[in-house]
Structure 1
Amino acid sequence: MKSHVTFSKNQRHGIFLLSLLIIVLQCVYFFVDFSGEDIQTNKAEFVKFTNEIDSLKAIELEARKPKIFPFNPNFITDYKGSTLGMSNEEIDRLLNFRKQNRWINSSKQFQEVTQVSDSLLNSISPYFKFPEWVTNPKTVKSSYNNSYKTKPKTFAQKQDLNKATAKQLQAVNGIGEAFSKRIIKFRNKFKGGFIDDVQLQDVYGLTPQVIDKIKLDFTVKTPRNIQKINLNTATIDQLVTVQHIDYDLAHRIIEYRNLREGFKSFSELLKVKDFPLNKIKIIELYLQIDNTN
């Protein structure tokens, strides 16, 4: 035991210095104040600053979202449809509907054709922009009724639709600058202009009422010369040159013709599958029925 409790002189000095150091540190710990000043925060200002940061973040996120401008849903392309969130099937339904030369005139009809969900319709329908004659039909109807109070003009009194200027067309109630330019642009697509008044049906936005008003003052006096196609001998390549006839419809027309051993009248075309019934009069302009061949 003596060897464990007996220390040399140097060891005793070391123990003394260690004890002294411990005592000094304890005194410093108890008698010296190391605490700093308490930081005071203004809770109201802090909340205000936090809200400002959050609002700036929200503005930045909103700015990064793709901008949607008013548009006519009849002209949605594959790319436009995908950016709006439409599926490929929904876009195809719309494009197939338009291929029949039919038009969508309301948000409800858009959903019926494309079968989009209610949530998607609610998000994009506020941006739908339809022509004025769709959104304000009362004005068109009123002017249409007033136009029939005058005595109808004779053929000689009417102006030639193939020579009419935009300014002359604007004299018709319901035809503004946009419609008059659209009519002339469509007319100029064909060298020689219109073949018949019925082709006005192909001008986008013209309702039957507006077309009737145009025909009160204008008619085709100098029709475009065309070489009519014999419906009973026409090939597919010949038929597709006719307005509103594509390759699928041309193929079905020839199939029907072969089964029936030729057409006897244009009304038989209405029995062909998916034939555009409302365009029969326009299609007839390019065809003839000759059973001699």
Structure 2
Amino acid sequence: MNIFKSHFWYNKSQRNGIFFLVIIIIILQSLIVFDVFSSDETIETNTTELLAFHQQIDSLQKVELENRKPKIYPFNPNYITDYKGEQLGMSLSEIDRLLTFRKTNKFVNSKREFQKVTKVSDSLLNKISPYFKFPGWVVKRNRQLEKQNSKRNVNSSGVEKNLPKEKIRTKDINQATILDLQSINGIGDKLSERIIKYRTKLQGFSLDDQLYEVWGLEKPVADKILSNFKILGKPTIKKVNINTIEFKQLLKNPYINYSLCVKIFNYRDEVAELQDISELKNIKDFPLDKYDRIILYLVAE
């Protein structure tokens, strides 16, 4: 009895506390049983505000999913690894084809070459090719090839056919435009621009042989140009007095380099004044083969 007595023997205040606790429990249980807190009011789930709230949650979920996707940065497709290829959506066989191709020390230099080697689908190529990053010289070369291809016409059988050349509008090489020069086979954008630029530097072609001095212009192509264009009018070149010309100004002569310029000034100091321009031939090691070109820009007065 003493065992039970220790557990059930309370003073008056403790018994009152237990009594009130039991009453509270009974009241709460009654409220739950009789559903006092329930309400007959129905909540409308198709309201405009609620639908807008759900749409906002859906959009936030989509943004979060997009942010979780691995971002693609510009890359060189020649160095795609197994892991990178899998991220891009390539199959193992497509990745293996690229790796096998690279083992031959070859490179893909365009998205079409990439598709030809890997055999990826058009849809995947269109998805990943905007991120391809090739070296600068490759991009420049591809642009040049695109320009050349744009000048060609492809007939229905798939055979390329060159577009007709424009007619030459002048026979004077000193009046020929870039388009006139491009009417010659073998002359493209670069060469035609280079010829015009060198002609400007010379203040016009005075001798036919000057055309062969254009850098990168092969002799057979230059011969074609001279067979279609002639020097019909000599250019007007303002000659400078050899006795008063300054050092920097003489260096602008397209046929005089620094060492020759020094020799000319030393000779001028020795003789005080050149009486005739032909005295240049008296200078030691003077390039006689360039004499007729040099004197196009000089005079002794």
Q: Which has the higher contact order (CA 8 A, sep 6+)?
A: 1
TM-score, normalisation: structure 2: 0.35
Q: TM-score, normalised by structure 1?
A: 0.36
Answer with 1 or 2: which has the greater Rg: 2
